[in-house]
Structure 1
Amino acid sequence: MAFDQNENDLADVATMFAAMRAEGEAPAETEAEAVKGDALDMPFDDGSFDRIIASEIFEHVPHDTAAMAELHRVLKPGGIAAVTVPSWLPERICWALSEEYHTNEGGHIRIYTRAELEAKLKATGFEIGPHHHAHALHAPYWWIKCAVGTGNDDHPLAKAYHRLLVWDILKAPRTTRVAERLLNPLIGKSVVVYLRKPDRESGRRRAGNDG
């Protein structure tokens, strides 16, 4: 299931789901749905999902801790979530290069350190697991976009780098895969934090052991 507030993005996802099914890229027994809604008031029952990916969301939401609480609510006890936000250093450079990048409607309204993100998620009730950084090759693209204008898709440098990224995604050559793996800890565009919602039975056992 894909969940978002942007109808255009959801339409693209629905088209992608249909294409995957037509090409036989999804198991026949699986189902996929695109749902529009508000991250602060999700239209799902408590404990609806055992796995959730919240990708690049909380940096857009003024009341991020309320959105985290909703994420916690709809995840089953014992369920796993992966949360991604822009990494501190690449994002700080983007903000320094372009005011438009972070002041446009629906744009990024905060820059997280990993410690801040994990502290907020822990305060919500999640158990914090491992983390890693990703998409290092995407960071220079956004620095270029911020330098030449975020809406200037026709700039030669931005177009050339975009072609490189598309080629890399489609071909996944060993050279760029190794380069990105080495660069991710330094300039990975996103940080990924893995979470677990405590199991009720585990919580009772711990409480009994403490007593």
Structure 2
Amino acid sequence: MTKLPFKELFRVLKPNGKIAITIPAFLPEKICWMLSDEYYAPKEVGGHVRIYRKNDIRRKMKLKGLQPFDYHRAHALHSPYWWLKCAVGPKNESNRLVRLYLRFLTWDIVKQPRITKYLEKVLQPVLGKSAIVYGQKKEFL
């Protein structure tokens, strides 16, 4: 994220307003990038352009006047799916393992069994594909 988006986020956020910023989590995304250069921009239209570590994004927020106050990760069970996709080619929908894992993820989303909720909770600090940083616009007098 360049300076401009943070400047704009600060501009449009009301005083003391809160914001949630979602970004790709560094480790799971870095693994995808190592497995396939077709996964990220510019080769993949709409793909991620850059990834950040937790402290990098928090520092950028602070520099633009947004005070980070919470952070968590989500979608840990999705990381292996994307690693498989990157290993066989991001656009390869016919791979058997990719199809089976997608079926598993769909089942998990629809049925929400306790075991996968537990696995998600345990794994998300390390494998969570998405990082969410919460911030607040602090007004300085």
Partner Cα separation in structure 2 for residue 107 and residue 131 of structure 1: 23
**Following the alignment from structure 2 to structure 1, what is the Cα–Cα distance between the partners of residues 65 and 129?**
26
The structure 1 residue matched to 2:26, chosen from 88, 96, 113, is: 88
The share of aligned pairs that are identical, in percent, is 47
In structure 2, distance between residues paired with 1:168 and 1:105 = 28
TM-score by length of 1: 0.63
- State the partner residue of 2:95: 155
CA RMSD of aligned residues (A): 1.1
The answer as to 2:42 corresponding to 1:99 is no
Give the CA deviation at 1:104.
2.1
User: Relative contact order (C-alpha < 8 Å, sep 6+): which is higher?
Assistant: 2
- 2:84 corresponds in structure 1 to 144
2:49 aligned to which of 85, 103, 109: 109
1:73 aligns with 2:11: yes
Structure 1, unpaired ranges of 5+: 1-57, 59-63, 205-211
CA–CA distance in structure 2, aligned partners of residues 147 and 189 of structure 1? 16
Distance 2:46 2:124 in 1: 26
The whole-number CA distance in structure 1 between the counterparts of 2:106 and 2:11 is: 37
**Which of 108, 124, 128 is matched with 2:64 structurally?**
124
User: In structure 1, how many angstroms separate the alpha carbons of the residues matched to 2:105 and 2:20?
Assistant: 24
* Alignment size in residue pairs: 139
Q: Mark the runs of 5 or more structure 2 residues left unpaired by the alignment.
A: none
Q: CA deviation at 1:74?
A: 1.1
- Report deviation, 1:105: 2.7
Q: Quick one: which amino acid aligns to residue 157 of structure 1? A: L
Partner Cα separation in structure 1 for residue 5 and residue 95 of structure 2: 36
CA distance in 2, matches of 1:111, 1:194: 17
User: Rg bigger for which structure?
Assistant: 1
Q: Deviations over 1:32-61 (max 9, x none)?
A: xxxxxxxxxxxxxxxxxxxxxxxxxx4xxx
Moved over 4 A (4+): none
